[in-house]
Structure 1
Amino acid sequence: MTALPDGLRLRPAHPQDLDDIMWLEHVSFPTDAWSASQMSGELYSPHGYYVVVETVDEGAAPTVVGYAGLSSLAGNPVADVQTIAVAAGHRGQGIGRALFTELLDEARRRGVREVFLEVRADNPVAQAMYTGFGFEHIATRPRYYQPDGVDAWVMRAELPAASDAPAAGTRSVGPIGQEALDG
């Protein structure tokens, strides 16, 4: 797991996080945000794994500053990163990397061997992060992100089996659908 800055913690997302996640979803993806019903379905899905990063300042209520989700059917060796977002004021602190690393760790725990994601063609920060995790651009979906008409890069990475995983502190691989990251 990638370390987070002081005052932040990563934890599993709960359906009670929906309002906070939706606020961040709408500010991160103003033209193509998921609906609350779509996100709620993801949070309740037995095939999904969602996590949040929240503030843990003493005396203040926690604030969600990032979230990410993975989808993988039980027993299926393939997974998809569904979404990832980090609040603009918290980008550049490694939060996106920590969220992504946790999704890849969960994929490994589920026995996943191959991870896919889509990333906006106009998001070089996210593309660079995924490439750094071993993802390769394998296809382009023209005008995938609507209503903006922005292409999606389809990216793929193979995950080593848990017993073949790199030693702690080395990079490995992982996926995503929507992204507003810090790289």
Structure 2
Amino acid sequence: MHETDAARCAELENQLFDGDDPWPDFAFVRELAAPHNRYVAARVDDKLVGYAGISRLGRKPPFEYEIHTVGVDPAYQGHGIGRQMMTELLDAIGPDSVVYLEVRTDNEPAIALYASLGFKKVGVRKRYYRVSGADAYTMRRDPVK
């Protein structure tokens, strides 16, 4: 993903997360500039249709990671794009790392995707999404043995 993709990512954020404090373009620019983050984009015919990012936590190994965001254009959902991006991020950090994420408790397709990638629910964060007040599951993927 490139800094020039920030406006399109913000556009998708507004479509996907309208009631949950979507990220503006400058948030993507800032995230892309941070050396401990990795972002990927999915494109169809040169159009950005998905994005996903992960952040390394801590300064010394063993590192833990956190998925910061995953979004797929509604017109392209259900075609494996989210899985492809998640797999790319997880492959980049390797199998020996703990990875966390938060997901709305009512986002059943995302929860199913994350579970299929080895994530398990480990807690609930009440009113995690400040604007809507929606709850989120915290999910964790342990090192793959």
TM-score computed with the length of structure 1 as normaliser: 0.73
Task: Kindly indicate whether residue 139 of structure 2 is the aligned counterpart of residue 155 of structure 1.
Answer: yes
Shift of 1:112: 5.0
Task: Kindly indicate whether residue 7 of structure 2 is the aligned counterpart of residue 16 of structure 1.
Answer: no
| Bigger share in strand | 2
Across the aligned residues of Structure 1 and Structure 2, the Cα RMSD in angstroms comes to 1.5
Question: Percent of aligned pairs with the same residue?
Answer: 37
- Is the CA contact (8 Å cut-off) linking 1:77 and 1:112 kept in structure 2? no
- 1 or 2 for the larger relative contact order (CA 8 Å, sep ≥6)? 1
Shift of 1:77: 1.9
Aligned to 2:72: 86
Q: What does the per-residue CA deviation read over 1:76-101, in whole Å, with 9 as the maximum and x for residues that have no partner?
A: 42000000000000011100110111
Task: Kindly indicate whether residue 103 of structure 2 is the aligned counterpart of residue 115 of structure 1.
Answer: no
TM-score computed with the length of structure 2 as normaliser: 0.91
Q: What does the per-residue CA deviation read over 1:99-158, in whole Å, with 9 as the maximum and x for residues that have no partner?
A: 1111111121xx751000000011011111111111111010001112111101000011
1:43-82 matches, within 5 Å, as 43-56=32-45, 62-73=46-57, 75-82=61-68
Give 5+ residue unaligned stretches, structure 1. Answer: 1-12, 57-61, 165-183
Shift of 1:26: 1.2
Give 5+ residue unaligned stretches, structure 2. Answer: none
Equivalent position amino acid for 1:30 in 2: D
Aligned residues: 142
The structure whose Rg is larger is: 1
Equivalent position amino acid for 1:121 in 2: T
